[in-house]
Amino acid sequence: MATKRAVVVGSGRHTKSIYRILKESEKIEVIGIADLEGSFSWLQESEQKNIFCTNDLVKLLSLPEVELIINTVDKPQIKEQLKNLKTANVELVNVVPGSFLQTLLQFSERLLKSEKTKGGLWEVLNAVQDAVEIVDSKGIINYTNPAFTRVTGIAREERVGKNIFEVSPNGALASSLLRQKPVVGYRTKVGGSDVEVISNASPIVIDGEIIGAVV
């Protein structure tokens, strides 16, 4: 899968967060950023020279090489404006704030292959502070990151290889896989522990086919 040239639309800290993670991806190259609060002080000077920065969506989408828009602003008017501004060959992905890791997974099928866990994106997932758990299309758990163990107290070895419908049938991940659509703000206890969490889960879709889910 070739690298996609992307622009990020956000507001405040969500813009910074998603940019820092996308920067590590081998599948996505960020070429422009629109921060609706208009602050780019968090960008390094070298980054500001290499990335188009604006608070004007029209200017952002006028970049001729844009292939992908990643929007973290959960406002209907912004989503509609982006939809109307983009050309037919540009993909628009609206990401629920706080669950932007799901976007990375949509563009990297290799993340579900355990033999490739040394890739750069695995390093990112291992480093983030959000608990991450990934299952395949049958519900088999392929991955948990260190934050998952820290939050739930469940070791990776106790989770990977198990079926999510057996170990956590009432959780967000099982619900998302069954319903084949995102689940947001799902409050439940993690199966196998007494830890109560509020989770966002989403199917992983590659070329229109659901190949798993992530929480």
Cα four-point dihedral sign 103, 106, 108, 110: positive
Per-residue model confidence (pLDDT) at position 209: 62
Per-residue model confidence (pLDDT) at position 171: 85
Question: Is the pLDDT at 203 greater than 90, yes or no?
Answer: no
- CATH code given to domain 4-97: 3.40.50.720
List, by residue range, all CATH 3.30.450.20 domains of the chain.
Answer: 130-214
Per residue in 135-194, pLDDT (tens digit) is 888 888 988 888 888 888 888 899 999 998 998 888 888 888 888 888 878 787 766 666
Kindly report whether the global pTM for this prediction surpasses the value 0.75: no
> For the chain, what is the mean pLDDT?
77
Per-residue model confidence (pLDDT) at position 33: 92
Burial 119-139 (b: 16+ CB within 10 A, else e): eebbebbeebebbbbbbbeeb
End-to-end CA distance of the chain: 23
Per residue in 90-129, pLDDT (tens digit) is 888 777 554 545 555 554 444 444 344 344 556 666 666 7
**Which residue stretches of the chain are H helix?**
13-22, 45-50, 57-61, 76-85, 101-106, 120-127, 146-152, 156-159, 164-167, 172-179
CB 11 within 8 A of CB 36: yes
Question: Is the pLDDT at 212 greater than 70, yes or no?
Answer: no
List, by residue range, all CATH 3.40.50.720 domains of the chain.
Answer: 4-97
Per residue in 79-89, pLDDT (tens digit) is 899 999 998 88
Give the pair of three-digit tokens for residue 119: 């890739």
Q: Which CATH number fits domain 130-214: 3.20.20.190, 3.30.450.20, 3.90.550.10, 3.30.390.50?
A: 3.30.450.20
Cβ burial, residue 201 (10 Å; 0-12/13-18/19+)? buried
